[in-house]
Structure 1
Amino acid sequence: MQDDNELVRLVLGGNQQAYARLVDKYKGRIFAHLYRMIGQRQDAQDLAQEVFTKAYFKLDTFHPDGNFSAWLYRVAANHCLDELRRRKQTVKTLGEEVELIDAKTPEDELLQKEQKQLLLRQVKDLEEEYRSVLVLRYIDQLSYKEISKALELPTTTVQMRLHRARKKLREGLEKGGASIYEMPQI
């Protein structure tokens, strides 16, 4: 199987099938990322199509030895942020697809559901700069370096924002009467 950079070279050489392979490889991840940021399924699908179109026309700006995945996430994140600024709406970062930890009793399940709702509200209430690094790190499971490239920030800034985001999240949860250690995994 060809690596991403080889596929990019083929696309730049005029091979549209190579781009179709890149889209197939990344469409699910990009859609999921956009859905977490925008909170609406149809909007996320529309944005994903726009991202892949935009990426196709900007492909000549991709450095041939770079990390295509990080570059594509950066295009997606920037496009989504532009759209959110245009709409001036509240960002939803986490969908309802968050899995519940196995609960043994109905009481445990109810408690877990309430905790999940509290956690989702707290994440939603975070400022966008903190919410975006949390989503990229804990939902999309990107490394600090990949987040740094995707958001065009120094790695130390990413680490600092994650630290502050976790602190704000912890404080918000404690105000709501919960501890971050009691929360279901997101």
Structure 2
Amino acid sequence: MVEPGLIKSAQAGDGDALISLLREIENHVYRTAYYILNNEQDAMDAAQEALIRIYTKIGSYEEKAQFKTWVQRIVTNICIDKFRRNKPTISIDEHEMDFRDSQSVEEEVLSSYAAQDIRKAIDKLPEHHRAVVVLRYLQDFSYNEIADSLDLPLNTVKSYLFRARQQLQTYLHDYQKGGVRG
């Protein structure tokens, strides 16, 4: 995680510290944006916008919340706004297969199909449900961290996760029964 001294130096106007800080978080910011938007170009745009906002607002960061929570709130809000402006179409990433590892070709293909089905199911979720799923299961945030990141009450986060899991179960029902490809 980010060193607190680096954050304080960046807030004090140290340009090198600010650049180091942004470099340290850029992969996390992009990953969150990509999982929410499921589009590489949109995710790159959202990540860039988030990094610029962090750059300009670092002075307003208060230690009431964890730094990673503050960063995730910024990127998630940008993604939700972008998602609302132009709802993305579902796209499936091409997965490169690496035959050098221990998985057989069949296992690799099945794993790729499962990942695609899960990605499609997540894409069908409403944006707030998608955001809590991404933060909980892909970014490994606690419920409290999600609540802080999204500026939601803790019970709302729990409710969104509960409903999102129900929706995912419904969406993945055919897959669980043996997978209907199509």
Q: Corresponding residue for 2:3?
A: 3
Cα separation, partners in 2 of 1:105 and 1:53, compared to 1, 3 Å: closer
Structure-1 separation of matches of 2:82 and 2:93: 18
Q: Corresponding residue for 1:165?
A: 164
The percentage of counterpart residues that share the same residue type is: 29
Structure-2 separation of matches of 1:47 and 1:118: 24
Structure 2 counterpart SS, 1:90: coil
| TM-score, reference length from structure 2 | 0.80
Structure-1 separation of matches of 2:67 and 2:113: 39
| TM-score, reference length from structure 1 | 0.79
Structure 2's unaligned 5+ residue stretches are none
> Are the counterparts in 1 of residues 38 and 123 from structure 2 also a CA contact under 8 Å?
no
Structure-2 separation of matches of 1:25 and 1:92: 30
Cα separation, partners in 2 of 1:90 and 1:46, compared to 1, 3 Å: closer
Residues 15-53 of structure 1 show CA distances to partners (whole Å, capped at 9, x for unaligned) of 111111211211111111111122232332232222111
> Are the counterparts in 2 of residues 93 and 135 from structure 1 also a CA contact under 8 Å?
no
Structure-1 separation of matches of 2:132 and 2:89: 14
Question: Aligned pair count?
Answer: 176
The within-5 A match list for 1:1-186 is 3-4=3-4, 6-86=5-85, 88-90=86-88, 104=104, 106=106, 108-174=107-173, 176=174, 178=176
Residues 37-84 of structure 1 show CA distances to partners (whole Å, capped at 9, x for unaligned) of 222323322322221111122223211343111001101111122222
Q: Considering only aligned residues, what root-mean-square deviation do their CA atoms show, in Å?
A: 3.0
Structure 1 counterpart SS, 2:172: helix
Structure-2 separation of matches of 1:111 and 1:137: 25
Quote how far apart the aligned CAs of 1:161 are. 1.0
Cα separation, partners in 2 of 1:166 and 1:27, compared to 1, 3 Å: same
> Are the counterparts in 1 of residues 80 and 127 from structure 2 also a CA contact under 8 Å?
no
> Are the counterparts in 2 of residues 37 and 91 from structure 1 also a CA contact under 8 Å?
no
